[in-house]
Structure 1
Amino acid sequence: MTDKSRNDGAQNAAILLKVAQTMAKLGVAPFPRNYELFYEALSGHNAELTRDVAALGSQPAQNRIEQIGIRYHLTGFAAVAADTIRADTVRSIAAMSGALNNGIARKEAFAALLRGFIDRLETDPVAGMSEFADDAARLRDAVAVFEREERAFATSMNETVALLGGLRSDIEVMRKASMRDPITGLANRIAFSAKLSALYDDGNAAGPAALALVTIEGLRDLGESHGAAVAEKALKKLAPVFRKSIKKNDFVARIGTDEFAFVFHDVLAENAEAIAQRIRASVEGVQIALPNRTFTAQTLSLSTGIAMALTASGSVDLFTQAELARGAVRSSGRPGVLVFSAAIGGRTKKTYAPHAA
């Protein structure tokens, strides 16, 4: 294990310890989704979320925690949001069904009144005018009530339809949010897992494709030295660079703090390597402004491991190969690009360092 890996592990452990201590102090249940929420709050990625969590105070009710998690579309709260939407949908449909049943009953009662009035006219032609007037008045009142109830039912139906439409919108927002990284707006690890699996839908590679696993070298140090907000700004600056560097049918996702994954379609190893080199060069050209240093900026670089879909036995094997290639680059101490090969342990494949670009 390299010193950098040990430092990264120590940093992650320190953050998780701080989250656990804060939750214990506030009396928050140790659910995985709560850890996610407090991690986001303590990391300072979203100032508004941090304020909302701070406002919870000690011994916060779980439903208040879940309201915040759902409001900010955190992945861990997707199941809670889905349960809430499902419950709201059941209530709405039940209310609509009840209103419909009541409406049918009212219509049947009104129809019975009409039939009775018609029968009276047909079977009792000598009925007095006062009796006829009384029946007509009752019918008139019934019509008025029926009209009011029909209008109320129509209003209720429209409100229910609008509510169901809103629930559908909420579901779509939740679905998109659960597949997106909140900082970069790129796909997240969940979306990446689905993409990776899709490369081997029938057990075989769908076509010539490459997986590139990337570590942004210098990003963790940037965050440690200048704060999480600076690292977040760097990520937001790099996200459009990544988008512009790939074809329309290619794919990029943020899968870790400083880790990204690219899927290049319809490429050979040489093409994938060239694309990764261009992306690395683009990243190295981005200037990251440092706080309180007007004339000083920092640059970042990439360590990239590439594996080819056609030479892997499946999605897990493909990921493992790309990870091994990236690990070989990082162990060299120089950012670069490496395509996996059977002889990777012997370093027979050329590693492209920054000066060789």
Structure 2
Amino acid sequence: MSAHGIAALPRNYELFYEALSGRLPQLSRELAALGLNPPQDSLDALGLKHHLVSHAALAADRARAAAQETLAGMASKLKLALAQKQTFKTELDRFTGRLADDPVVGLSEFADDAARLRETAGHLLNQENALQHALEASAQRMAEFEEDLAESRRSLTRDLATGLPNRLALTAKLDSLLETEQTDQPIALLLVFVDGLREMAEHHGGTVASKALAKLSALFRKSIKKNDFVARVGQQEFAFVCRDVSVENAEAIARRLCQSVQDVKVTLPGRAHTAETLSLAAGITIAQPASTSADLMTEAELALAGARDGAGILSYSAALGRGKTYGQNAA
């Protein structure tokens, strides 16, 4: 980055990482088009355009500043409109006052006063129309700001490569469920590790790994019920939150996931008849009445560590330390 004259800012590091990873080809092309010594504003524009996580705060700051500018403009126009109304009221008061003082005022004087009153009313009407247009334009800009802020918030809780929720979103989901779910509707957390993703990226490049991730994310979305939840929580780790399931149900879900992942075939560039395969290990835990999201993550991680040691699928049990185990190819 220093060789290209780019400041060592955290958001610039993420921008270059995402461009070099190959996950966002359009970003890579746009960054290359900036050439040497690109302005920071141009770099920030790319990060904002592609909704990078590190640029979320910058997007919020810019939206806030733009909103303040819009509100200041509205306030200025409103002040001018109020001044025009006050002028109109003053002219009207003077006109009615003269009529009260001299009911037989001359026709020419009456016409002059009426003309001034009409001119003031015209200015007031023009200002009111301008204010209406300004309010409509401001409302549109505010809606755009809100959408930008909403997208920034989504980027904080979304995995960029798959579009799935990320670890932050998973924690929020668990916290919400643990606060509201009935104890007779148990919550299961399945933490899974997809073995082979990293090797696929190292041996065949980011494009192949991205293809595999796309297949996996689509598969995992279709594998859950409507009210369940799936997130990507690491480079090769995904988490599933399933409601109203027993340990046995969760283990059956894990076995189906293992088989589904083994069935995924990722073809290699220029080798239509050659495909890479993946495998999956799963750690399972069931929420207890006093469980927290941190408790569940710790238990699932311990179970997953045991599963990756050879069990394939491992259910965590605080009482037993290690619960039921199944071989990697268990049916």
**1:188-224 superposed Cα distances (whole Å, 9 cap, x missing partner):** 1221121233343389979511111111111111111
**Residues 66 and 77 in structure 1, CA contact (< 8 A), matched pair in contact too:** yes
Equivalent position of 2:190 in the other structure: 212
Partners in 2 of 1:57 and 1:192 — Cα distance? 39
Residue identity opposite 1:353 in structure 2: Q
Equivalent position of 2:84 in the other structure: 106
Aligned counterpart for 1:351 among listed residues 318, 326, 329: 326
Residue identity opposite 2:261 in structure 1: V
1:171 aligns with 2:149: yes
Equivalent position of 1:123 in the other structure: 101
**Residues 192 and 253 in structure 1, CA contact (< 8 A), matched pair in contact too:** yes
**Residues 210 and 308 in structure 1, CA contact (< 8 A), matched pair in contact too:** yes
Equivalent position of 2:120 in the other structure: 142
Identical residues among aligned pairs (%): 48
Aligned counterpart for 2:240 among listed residues 259, 262, 278: 262
Instruction: Return structure 1 stretches of 4+ with deviation > 4 angstroms.
Output: 202-207, 342-345
- List gaps (5 residues or longer) in structure 1: 1-22
Instruction: Give the deviation of 1:263 after TM superposition.
Output: 0.9
Residue identity opposite 1:337 in structure 2: I
Partners in 2 of 1:198 and 1:239 — Cα distance? 23
Instruction: Give the deviation of 1:65 after TM superposition.
Output: 2.2
- Which one is further off, 135-144 or 249-258? 135-144
Q: TM-score, normalised by structure 1?
A: 0.85
Partners in 2 of 1:118 and 1:290 — Cα distance? 89
Instruction: Give the deviation of 1:311 after TM superposition.
Output: 7.8
Residue identity opposite 2:135 in structure 1: M
Aligned counterpart for 1:81 among listed residues 56, 59, 63: 59
Instruction: Give the deviation of 1:259 after TM superposition.
Output: 1.2
Aligned counterpart for 1:221 among listed residues 199, 210, 220: 199
Residue identity opposite 1:252 in structure 2: V
**1:70-104 superposed Cα distances (whole Å, 9 cap, x missing partner):** 11111221111111111112221222122112211
What's the secondary structure of 1:148's corresponding residue?
Answer: helix
- List gaps (5 residues or longer) in structure 2: none
Partners in 2 of 1:57 and 1:190 — Cα distance? 35
Partners in 2 of 1:241 and 1:92 — Cα distance? 45
Equivalent position of 2:315 in the other structure: 339
Instruction: Give the deviation of 1:170 after TM superposition.
Output: 2.1
**Residues 204 and 314 in structure 1, CA contact (< 8 A), matched pair in contact too:** no
Partners in 2 of 1:331 and 1:238 — Cα distance? 23
Q: TM-score, normalised by structure 2?
A: 0.92
Instruction: Give the deviation of 1:182 after TM superposition.
Output: 2.5
Partners in 2 of 1:97 and 1:209 — Cα distance? 52
Aligned counterpart for 1:239 among listed residues 206, 210, 217: 217
Cα-Cα RMSD: 2.4
What's the secondary structure of 1:247's corresponding residue?
Answer: coil
Instruction: Give the deviation of 1:179 after TM superposition.
Output: 2.1
Partners in 1 of 2:184 and 2:103 — Cα distance? 84
Equivalent position of 1:67 in the other structure: 45
Residue identity opposite 2:313 in structure 1: V
